[in-house]
Structure 1
Amino acid sequence: MAEAGSGPAFDRMGAEVVGTRRGLFTLVLKTTTLSVLTLGVYSFWARTRVRRWLWSAMRLGGTPFEYVGQPLEKLMGFVIAAVIVAVYLGLVVMVLIFASLQIWLSPAPGIAASFALILPVYWFAQYRGMRYLLNHTRWRGIGFSMRPGAWRYSGLAIFWTILSAATLGLLWPVRTQRLWRFRAARAYYGDDHFRLTLRARDLIVPFVPVLAVLWGGAALAFFGGAIEDQDALVGLVMLAVPMLALAWLYWRVVSFRRLASSLAFAGAAGLSVAPRTGRVLGIHMGGWVLVGLLLIVGAIALFFGFVASFFGFVASLPALDLETLATASPATVFFAALLFYLTFFLGRGALRMVFVTFPLIRHVGETLTVQGAAEVNAVRAGEVRHMHDADGFANLFDLGAGV
């Protein structure tokens, strides 16, 4: 496969990511604090401010990207999506559990089927989240966009997921290529759309380590007798899980590199990107360790701060016991639980953005080049495809909170 980086140097555009983690950390610290104090309402404004910072930090050919999404769109989209999903899942779950009780005299099959029905909604939300981000991204004054197709995307994901499961994972690379191709064919920059030129068979080799760990572990468990020996089974799991994690990370990095580098656009234009597996692994390991440590420190500080504020005995904190905490009113306990919930999830997302997502963006940006600058410069503004309900469905599954 010929990658996009083979053209003359003068016909290429390089990318860069400016800004520092300190600047981003300061921003997310302010926005997360306001989100917690407003019980999550400000999170829609926080997400908008963070995206604008990130988009302006990403530059192609020296020109920054621009994010034009509005916080009120996110708020209204989230409310609408929450109501629709709650009604949909509520009715479906009731019907399935009722049918399960009538047929099998147990709610378990109905509950299992209810969880399975979340997956189509998840993939629906995933496509809409990506579509919203593209439809609200500008570069050089020309907008990106993506055509509707969330339900078709969800159906395609279901179809290839079932086939992948039926073939014990063998068709997973095909599934990945088909979903990328579907998204690329519906993505536009101005009046030109993207195309995926990579064949599915070019993704099979990077996926072999994943299959080797899965199939090898299953063979040892069933045919090697490990499934009958609890100690051997525990040891096998402890060995297979980190090996599978490494194999999966390798697959994700290599498949992303090949897929993204095969994106063609506007005739001769194309991309070339070269993230490294070792670097991505280091970012994830170091980033998540920092996130965990900061969350633990923050949770301890929040706990003692809450106790000191509501019980007023800072000097006697060492004598604190469960009996004393039991005297708190239900309203106090509810408020404390809500505060801890918001702090943990909003704080985790904010810290992930600073210590994991942003370093990954910077690493990929350092390796990104665009071939066919003349073709890109000739692009004209296309049809504006605005989404008034924003990415509310994606935010329900924490898809719209990222990039």
Structure 2
Amino acid sequence: MMWPSSQASKILTCLLIIVVIYCIYMDTFLFLRIRNYKIDIFEQSENITQETSTHRTLKAQQNYEDVTWIPCNINPLCHPTVKALMVDHINHYIYGPLCAIVDIGLGISEKMLFLTPNMISLFHVFIACVGAKLLTFQSLAARRVAVVLFQIRMFLDDLDGHVARERKHIKGERSEVGTIGYWVDGICDSLGVTAMMIGILVYLKNNPPRRGYKDTPVSTLPYHQLKEINSSEDIERDHTTEIGISYKTKVTLQRIVQVIGLFSGQMVLSSLAWNRYIDLYQNLLENSLEYDISRRESTFMSGTFFFATGLWRIVNPHSYLHLLSLAVFCDKTWAFLKAVHYSGYVCLVVTVATSEYLIENIKSHVVNSMDG
């Protein structure tokens, strides 16, 4: 069973369905917003040629702020950027607006100047350490509290970036590669993820999953079906029944380390690739003012670019963490890690290949055309 038979799990299932529908709805409106309204990152450019001016006059696009009823300081659709298109759904559509609301309510950006973004980053590392300790407990309730703490950590990870951008008067998500804040945020984020993986490793070491076999009559199947199961699952049955399940042996620590190591490697590669393509896309479309603005804008507005960046919404480290948190909450940690420790690499390779293909097309359309 995917879900334990409890009222809490039914509520969680309903919430998960609502979140998925909400994210699909917001993705649809984000694409329509990009296609039909002006985009800030190109309005601010000074490299507007005669061709570009004609291009803009013919489009006669409206400002999105003039038509939306949700204030732009909390609306995640107002200021689309390269990074905004690649941030995972939960951070962009849920934690982002919540950060803005908390910031407005508490006045962190304007009044609490003593509270720096780097201090917020360091604080969420502390929360991650507390959550990691709770993840080692055998009690499912304690591990669920740990999941809540790790979600608070991810919210604070979003909040530190929001505060930094507000104080610099930057609209939309941006990566300021090379700055002190960029490195502090990255290091603190890595420490938080490492703490989570260590907590899960210690839990599985102390409560190893078990490899069992389904005892099926020989007349039905010519062999016993082997499978791995969580030690916390109540699956022992009476062997007098036609079909039963028996424990055979515990999964070894070496196997546990291997699975967690493969998943962690996937997270590292995903993080490196995600940051790399954000930097490349920003340099080609946002930061390089010498390139023709109409070509950069048409690329940014294309369905191909939206699809390619949309893959990174799913295959990025934050998405993995949200799915892992859900698995821990549902007591399916081992099942989730086993399911993705290889398949996740396939998804990552497909996403990277798509991004490389798109980068070459952008260079051909934007860069090489200018050289010609």
**Aligning the two structures, in what range does the TM-score lie when normalised by the shorter sequence?**
under 0.3
When you count strand as a share of all residues, which structure comes out higher? 1
TM-score by length of 1: 0.24
Q: Which has the higher contact order (CA 8 A, sep 6+)?
A: 1
TM-score by length of 2: 0.26
